[in-house]
Amino acid sequence: MFIEERHQKILEILKTKGSISTAEIQRKFGVGYDSAKRDLRILEEKGLLKRTHGGAIAVRQIGAGKPFGVTCKDFTEVKSNYLAIAKKAISMINDNDVIFITSASVGFLMAQNMPENLKIRVVTNSIIIAEELRKKENISVIMLGGEMDSKGNCYDAFAIETIKKLRFDKCFLTSAAISAKFGLSIQKSQAISFWNAVIDSSKKAIGLYPTEKIGIDSIVSICPANRLNTIVTDWDALEEDLKGFDELGIELVITEKENQEQL
């Protein structure tokens, strides 16, 4: 098989699955590790994919986002890196903490996996996350009011005014993308003031960013990356993408993959 044919097949797999590992390239095309890595590097240089530590993921368009009405709990399958990040975030919470949880999939996974012996107070702008936490006797929930969007979240002036009257030990945030140069970014500008108010009200701001969101930019910047104290990401994040955050003085927490694929 010519290298151009192999590259086309790799791109077809990415289009279907969204990701591919170097091990999968080796198996499917009978090439060595160095050749698999070289294929991904060449395709990334052409802007056709984004490399990760263990392979590559499909390139995200700058304006990519969830379809209208899709909520934080509407995922067809739980991605292992999202779950690992959510569990790592939970391990950073102490008894009697007051925390804010992001209104995103990783925030919903945090809510789902909260242990019964952790007594905390949670503030959220997501009616879905609030409903999930309502079932847990050890957790007190403050639900921010305001005009709710199609995903069950409130970001408007009512919610912001309430945030300004609260203080958090920790806030757990995410956004569409994050990079050292452009900072935290999203598709729409309406939520910028809300997220900055959350950070302003927090002793410690912790960003929860799977590899898919690291080192890329969305349309609108929320704030510089160094407004976060800590970034929690996964094993697939490239060192070159993380280096810029380290230089900004942001603590990096890398989750470990269970049962890693062996070459």
Calculate the alpha carbon distances from 237 to 73, 115, 172, 256 in Å. 24, 28, 19, 11
Tens of pLDDT, residues 104-120: 999 999 999 999 999 99
CA–CA distance, 36 with 50 (Å, rounded to integer) = 14
Residue 147 in tokens: 């005009």
- Other residues' Cβ atoms within 10 Å of the Cβ of residue 197: 18
Beta bridge partners of 168: 202
Q: What does CATH list as the number for 80-254?
A: 3.40.50.1360
What fold is seen in the domain 3-58? Arc Repressor Mutant, subunit A (1.10.10)
pLDDT of residue 73 exceeding 80:
no
How is the chain split into domains, by residue range? 3-58, 80-254
The reported pLDDT for the residue numbered 62 is 55
Secondary structure string (H, E, C) spanning 10-34: HHHHHHHHCEEEHHHHHHHHCCCHH
Q: Tell me, what's the pLDDT at 260?
A: 45
Q: Any idea how long the chain is?
A: 263
| Predicted confidence band of residue 263 (pLDDT cuts 50, 70, 90) | very low
Query: What average pLDDT does the chain have?
Result: 91
Structure tokens at 55: 């392979």
